[in-house]
Structure 1
């Protein structure tokens, strides 16, 4: 009874503070302990549910089905055939904004819509200890007080046309980057404005990005344009640029304060080179948080760890698929993100890989460690047994809950003759080939099946075309270009067989200029993980226009 009374008092305090826009600092101060207590409550709930996975899943399924429907997972699977791909969900697959009412309901109710471990700077964990193996007890989820300090989190994220607060808005002064900066029509303009506002605040504790590629591109813009950024900092101005409306520029410029000292520091640190630049520019930074850091985004994470973010933990708190929140990363120190699938958040089914002719799904408590599975979701009422298009590998278990690693997206496989080269394995072959080119380092890549090129592909057999951005090489010899085709033949016997028969033609490799992929991501129009196989002619034409060799 006392706990319920305390919760009611806390709720009244948060709502009362929300009604006082003139006192945002008070609202921040009142909401922060509520968030921290809610995180602890949700963690304890997850620990409990981890010992009764089948019961939790059956309970979740009952809540997703209409009243009066026959209950039980066996009956459900008999009556509902496997569906097609899942709906896309929220724009960019991002977590919806977190409101105090939803937060407190997640602590009391039996059906929490959103748990509070992540979603922004409000999630940064303590990072001063090593991560345990998946079977061990995960680290304490209590939040670092410094990570929740006002104005000490910067957000680099582009969500065009969707003006909504990030997931941590119960702490209204958490972010030093305003929401309006992320909704500009131009991705490049949005990231530059957010970067400039973040550079103004030297005492950042958390640097957050919606995607690893957004952080990667923002830092690339820093390396390319730091003299202009330093000048803007010194003058306290926001320079005009394409995609930044004049009225919006005036409002955002009012947030800048001239600082010659900070501008001088920026010039000095950028002149030293990119290695460790993030830690040098923000000496009090504790963690870099990214909304998506696996699959296609892993390439950017690896590059960030090697250079710009060297020495800092790169933490991806959530696993999301098809617009649904599915898992939480309880091991922030590990470089490859792994996620504990939460039995209360969706009803999960899995298709063993490789797929069989008559696929039969297995449930959350029937998985085997080390095996790969295609994900099938029932996450919303009326959307039953949808194929998420994601392949997961079971890395271990915490109690009865599986700990998974996202491996690849089924839609990103290459196939011109039914050979199906998966996204992750193609990347491995490409990296192996690049390793044979002295001085070269892979920055980015994308693939195209020759059918998309139409008559421009020539009269030869169907083939792959690959566009790469490299550092350390300005041109590729014919011998170097052939190395990738040779690696694919060595790694994929079926591809080699088709190449030997002549039914698949030789791979064609193209080198593109710096910044080509940043422009490609802007042309996508939505903040989604980087596609590795292009399916649209306009995107193909854009990347073709950037070829330099």
Structure 2
């Protein structure tokens, strides 16, 4: 099926938000009212008010038994009025162990729609992007199956393997599908970059699902550019690329040797600093695109450094449970990104997340600007009033559709005593600390955190992986700079933390532990081995598993502590 989109669709969807939401709920209830799950609350009724009165707000543990029954071979009508054809695997890095969610082909149509929508919005803000290609780092992983034989994979893998993707109207990527579908992520990364370099004059954008993937791509290029130049010069793909379909497709794109191009790439990569390397290697690139909100906000300074501050666009907000909406202002500053919710994907309700909330739930069109909410999802595939665990803030409206800023995952916090430090707190503090780093020769490549209660008093630990801004230099750890970073992080945390830290002595001095380069790749491998997706991986904001901590601790190079109490 070919999905088309134009900006008139955006206007219609956002002008008729309330009516479309009512229609979506009616359609979902008509489809699913006689499922075993809903029948216990609605007794076959499709009444919307009865739905809101009787159907409970649930978390994954509440619906997991029903999902597992279908996965194990029971009929789809345990949870869904239409057949479940596969299961999506969540990333497994936001909240721990990966979850599975039931879907059918409608999800592919929705994904095609939202991608087309995002592309149309970009093309209205950046001219001539449709005349070139995107160097996009998409990856798949091997699919598994349930006991009943239904496929299980990440949303990204599932979509890239679907007929919707294979039958798209045209190929806008520098990489052939054989590279995108290669299940060896190292071979795929090498070939993505090689194809992008060979077609450098056609590249108008550089993209990946998440910012972390783009940073990994640059790090990979640092390690392999000499070998790639050799491939370009000879027209021969390295022998270790053993996926034959991938190898043949890339050989076809190489089309023989290109000595001048190899010399040019070599000259750029041999520069002392890799500042602006994206813009230098792909001079016609007009923007860099990936999700840069939430946990991926930590990579914004690195991407700005590597891209020479090309626009960083964060196109859409989506999850394994549902699609939400798009960024209608793609050229806004990275920290100002908001997503306009579209009413046609799922039925959305919102649980007020402000302090003192008495369980108030409001519809999509009734949220208030400035307030914080947790979305509740009712989708077509068996989730009803499902708690997402994301915290969002309303920033405005586009016509009658609200716009939300992603704030944090609800349960991702650090705490030693009475304080609760959120993702938002951590990212704000980190942004302030990276301003200190800007005036040094160090670049922050990755971080995570940990509440260490083995000391007395307990204290916050931030693991940082640093590299030198100049490509071949060794990192020189500057004690004064890193101690100041510790202090700035503390000064940026919430008032309760600062009071407990400085006045009452319930929290010890914040610590930065610098780890060896490559440590965060090892951390990623742990999560992938536990089921996380390489293409959807996000470095966890906080870690608490013994395996992850063991990797971090075994690679610590130096420790730095705050040397003053933060004001409160």
Q: Which residue number in structure 1 is paired with residue 494 of structure 2? A: 492
Task: Pick closer, same or farther for the CA change 1:466–1:233 going to 2, 3 Å.
Answer: same
Contact 1:117 1:123 in 2 (8 A): no
* In 1, Cα distance between equivalents of 2:185 and 2:519: 14
CA 476–427 in structure 1, closer or farther in 2 if over 3 Å, else same? farther
Structure showing the higher strand proportion among its residues: 2
Query: Would you say 1:156 and 2:137 are equivalent positions?
Result: yes
Match of 2:318? Answer: 320
**Structure 1 residues 72, 271: CA separation in 2 closer, same or farther (over 3 Å shift)?**
farther
Q: Within 5 Å, which residues of 2 pair with 1:305-384? A: 306-310=304-308, 312-336=310-334, 337-356=337-356, 358-384=358-384
Q: TM-score, structure 1 length as denominator?
A: 0.76
Equivalent residue number for residue 226 of structure 1: 225
Residue in structure 2 matching 1:450, options 449, 452, 461: 452
Partner of 2:151: none
Distance (Å, rounded) in 2 between the aligned partners of 1:117 and 1:381: 21
User: How much has 1:45 moved relative to structure 2?
Assistant: 3.6
How far did 1:410 drift?
1.6
- 1:254 match: 251
Q: What residue in structure 1 maps to residue 265 of structure 2?
A: 266
The answer to whether the aligner puts 1:411 opposite 2:396 as a matched pair is: no
* Corresponding residue of 1:64: 28
* Counterpart-to-counterpart distance in 1, 2:379 and 2:225: 45
Q: Specify the SS of the correspondent of 1:70.
A: coil
Match of 2:539 in 1: 530
Q: What runs of 5+ residues in structure 1 fail to find an aligned partner?
A: 1-10, 12-33, 107-111, 130-142, 452-456
Q: Displacement, 1:238?
A: 3.2
Question: Hey, what's the Cα distance between the residues in 2 that align with 1:504 and 1:433?
Answer: 20
Match of 1:280 in 2: 280
CA contact (8 A) 1:520 1:542 kept: yes
> Aligned pair in 2 of structure 1 residues 48, 431: CA closer, same or farther (>3 Å)?
closer
Listed one character per residue, the Cα deviations across residues 502-540 of structure 1 (whole Å, up to 9, x for unaligned) are: 444443320012232233234321123331111332222
Q: Distance in 1 between matches of 2:448 and 2:407?
A: 18
Would the aligned equivalents of 1:119 and 1:317 in 2 still touch at CA under 8 Å?
no
* Aligned match for 1:79, one of 43, 49, 54: 54
Partner of 2:425: 425
Matched with 1:39 is: 5
Deviates more, 1:155-164 or 1:367-376: 155-164
Structure 2-normalised TM-score? 0.74
Mapped contact 1:350–1:363 kept (Cα < 8 A): yes
Give unpaired runs (5+ residues) of structure 2: 35-43, 65-86, 93-100, 144-156, 469-474, 559-568
CA contact (8 A) 1:447 1:467 kept: yes
Task: Give me the whole-angstrom Cα distance separating, in 1, the residues matched to 2:342 and 2:484.
Answer: 46
Report the more deviating stretch, 212-221 or 81-90.
81-90
Q: Which residue of 2 aligns with 1:135?
A: none
Helix, strand or coil at the partner of 1:218 = helix
2:466 aligns with one of 466, 470, 473: 470
* Equivalent residue pairs, number: 476
- Superposed displacement of residue 422, structure 1: 0.7
Aligned to 1:146: 131
Cα 1:187/1:540, change in 2 over 3 Å: farther
Q: Identify if the C-alpha distance between structure 1 residues 546 and 125 changes in structure 2 by more than 3 Å, giving closer, same or farther.
A: farther
